[in-house]
Amino acid sequence: MAVMRSGASLTRRRFLTTAASSAVMAAAGGIAKPALSRAADRPVITHGVQSGDVSVDSAIVWARADRPSRMLVEVATSESFKTIRSAVFVDALPETDFTAKALLEGLPAGQDVFYRIRFQDHSFPSALGSPQVGRFRTAPSERRTISFVWSGDTAGGGWGIDEARGGMRTYATMLKSRPDFFIHCGDHIYADFPLHTERKLPNGEVWRNIVTEDKSKIAQTLAEFRGNYKYNLLDKNVLAFNAEVPLFAQWDDHEVTNDWCPGEALRWGGYADRSVLKLAARGCRAFHEFMPMRETLAEAGRIYRKIPYGPLLDVFLLDMRSYRTPYGEDGAPAAILGPTQVSWLKRELMSSQATWKIIAADLPIGVVSGDAIAQGDGTPRGREIEIADLLAFIKHAGIGNTVWITADMHYTAAHYYDPNKAVFQDFEPFWEFISGPLHAGTWRPQTLDNTFGPRAVFQKGCSGAQRDDLAPCFGLQFFGHVAIDGASEVMTVTLKDVADRDLWSTTIEPRMEKWSRGVPSMRS
């Protein structure tokens, strides 16, 4: 992983003398004048720019070059870049497939921030590429209205980029709402699902994919995993969205292979090496290289983390894949988060001073699935035991205003968990919202079990004669939108589709102190 260097303390003059050759930097606006004239002589940004993990005073920015080079980043609070607030540099090396991430610190709270990225050729330092500009908004330090969107499941089911049908259109729809950030709940890629040039649709039409070499086969090598991320970045909608909206990224199974578990043998055919751990190591490395996310020195490759987003919101991004254990016999306890992550989550929830705690999960709690948590009606068993312990802890610790969001199921739904309807009752009522797919096949809603008493207040997916894995062009692509009012602190959750239609919405009143069991105030 490229080393991240903070530029908060660097002056503009320091940047000019240390990050680039001063002989080729122009005095006006920090625009470099390359000594070499031909465009081919200069490094190129190959897959746009991204930002991520934005907080009150910091953020990550990302780009990829076409060669060994130095990523130069300038930061300003106006699009003109008349005043450069800070500047940083990070080297893009072959070891990271020429990707580079920079940590920006010392940013002003609640402010639009513009960043400008270009690359400086390592072999010819006088050759600087053309810049690209991105923007994001830092989290507020005061109570201010904020909003975000979430979804998951991109390029799945064999449905890739069909340019004649507008490409990955849900990204363009989400951009219209100008959210403060976007949570991708996992399945950024489908490394285990090759694309074919054409797929026949139920109505007789033909879906035509752009297909690259790496997307034409299951990913096994590190280069092939990297190629899956590069594929999504061919889409104009994704590139435009990434340049404007920060990403909070987590993963699920298809970043490696379907339904993988560290302690189990590889289930699917077609793999030359049957080691799940080797496959996961390659998938995890590519994920970290291409996601604009913060890294931790405590545990290399860790994905779960907390992102504080001002006084109204803390976001807890979980990892339900890396630390799970296989199911035992007769409902014996099994991990979905693992003891270290559970302890971290309890500790961080306890210390959170934010009004709302969004728990972003890879998987829903109450949807019956052999790969996930719910195993059917009855008392907690298997991975449900870990979730029961967590929910009971939240209740007894008096932690209010927790809302769960997830994707994975390829349909959208609102689930209300009520202990009065549950077999296990030692928890307070809460909402769980599912959205997705962003750009993948759509499925029909699945069965809920009664362990934690979920009720499907709303759900939409395939229905009637529609077949599962319905193509994106039929309009059943979904995302969720959350707005938290700065004055009242009321949260409004809206489930939306690719046409930007509001399918269902509810408002949830915040609880300002420990409450007795009952239904939270809401208006649907």
Measured distance CA(234)–CA(143) in Å, rounded: 38
Measured distance CA(366)–CA(479) in Å, rounded: 20
Q: What single-letter DSSP state applies at residue 429?
A: -
- The whole-number pLDDT of residue 34 equals 43
What's the CA dihedral at 27, 109, 316, 1 to 10 degrees? 20
Exposed/middle/buried for residue 147 (C-beta within 10 Å: 0-12, 13-18, 19+): middle
Token digits of residue 161:
């980029």
pLDDT tens per residue, range 238-268: 999 999 999 999 999 999 999 999 989 898 8
pLDDT higher than 60, residue 22: no
CA angle (89 as vertex; 2, 97 as ends), nearest 5: 35
- The whole-number pLDDT of residue 28 equals 31
The percentage of the chain sitting over the pLDDT mark of 90, rounded to a whole number, equals 84
- The whole-number pLDDT of residue 40 equals 73
Which whole number is the average pLDDT over 313-338?
Answer: 95
Token digits of residue 113:
């921030």
Helix intervals (H) in 294-338 = none
How many CB atoms are located within 10 Å of the residue 213 CB? 9
- The confidence band for 20, taking pLDDT boundaries of 50, 70 and 90, is very low
Measured distance CA(362)–CA(434) in Å, rounded: 10
Domain with CATH 3.60.21.70 in the chain: 146-523
Q: What single-letter DSSP state applies at residue 255?
A: T
Rounded to 10°, the helix 236-244/169-176 angle is 30
- The confidence band for 26, taking pLDDT boundaries of 50, 70 and 90, is very low
Q: Are 220 and 492 in contact (CB under 8 A)?
A: no
The answer to whether the peptide bond before residue 308 is cis (omega within 30 degrees of 0) is: no
Helix (H, G, I), strand (E, B) or coil at 129: coil
Token digits of residue 55:
């907080």
- The confidence band for 130, taking pLDDT boundaries of 50, 70 and 90, is very high
Checking DSSP bridges between strand 69-76 and strand 412-417, what pairing results, if any? unpaired
List the CATH code of the domain at 146-523: 3.60.21.70
How many CB atoms are located within 10 Å of the residue 38 CB? 8
Token digits of residue 45:
């940004």
- Least confidently predicted of 19-28, 86-95, 240-249, 256-265: 19-28
- The confidence band for 155, taking pLDDT boundaries of 50, 70 and 90, is very high
- C-alpha torsion sign, points 7, 134, 406, 186: negative
- The whole-number pLDDT of residue 512 equals 75
- Least confidently predicted of 145-149, 223-227, 390-394, 464-468: 464-468
Measured distance CA(385)–CA(402) in Å, rounded: 19
Which whole number is the average pLDDT over 480-491?
Answer: 98
- The whole-number pLDDT of residue 514 equals 45
Measured distance CA(451)–CA(415) in Å, rounded: 13
- The whole-number pLDDT of residue 517 equals 35
Residues 6 or more apart whose Cβ sits within 8 Å of residue 95: none
Residues 6 or more apart whose Cβ sits within 8 Å of residue 361: 185, 318, 320, 404, 405, 406
Instruction: Return the amino acid letter for 92.
Output: A
Rounded to 10°, the helix 276-290/222-232 angle is 40
- The confidence band for 35, taking pLDDT boundaries of 50, 70 and 90, is very low
Instruction: Return the amino acid letter for 299.
Output: E
pLDDT higher than 50, residue 522: no
Which whole number is the average pLDDT over 22-41?
Answer: 46
Measured distance CA(401)–CA(521) in Å, rounded: 11
The percentage of the chain sitting over the pLDDT mark of 70, rounded to a whole number, equals 90
Domain with CATH 2.60.40.380 in the chain: 12-137
Is the entire prediction scored with pTM above 0.85?
yes
pLDDT higher than 80, residue 519: no
Q: What single-letter DSSP state applies at residue 214?
A: G
The region that residue 344 occupies, defined by phi over 0 for left and psi between -120 and 50 for alpha, beta otherwise, is: alpha
Measured distance CA(286)–CA(306) in Å, rounded: 21
Q: Map tokens 């997307």 to a residue.
A: 215
- The whole-number pLDDT of residue 96 equals 98
pLDDT higher than 60, residue 5: no
pLDDT tens per residue, range 170-203: 999 999 999 999 999 999 999 999 999 999 999 9
pLDDT higher than 90, residue 368: yes
- The whole-number pLDDT of residue 12 equals 34
**pLDDT, averaged across the chain:** 91
Token digits of residue 309:
């987003």
pLDDT tens per residue, range 422-432: 999 999 999 99
The domain 12-137 is placed in CATH, from the list 3.40.50.300, 2.60.40.380, 1.10.12.10, 2.40.30.10, at 2.60.40.380
- The confidence band for 39, taking pLDDT boundaries of 50, 70 and 90, is low
Strand partners, 202: none
Q: Are 369 and 446 in contact (CB under 8 A)?
A: yes
pLDDT tens per residue, range 294-322: 998 778 899 999 999 999 999 999 999 99
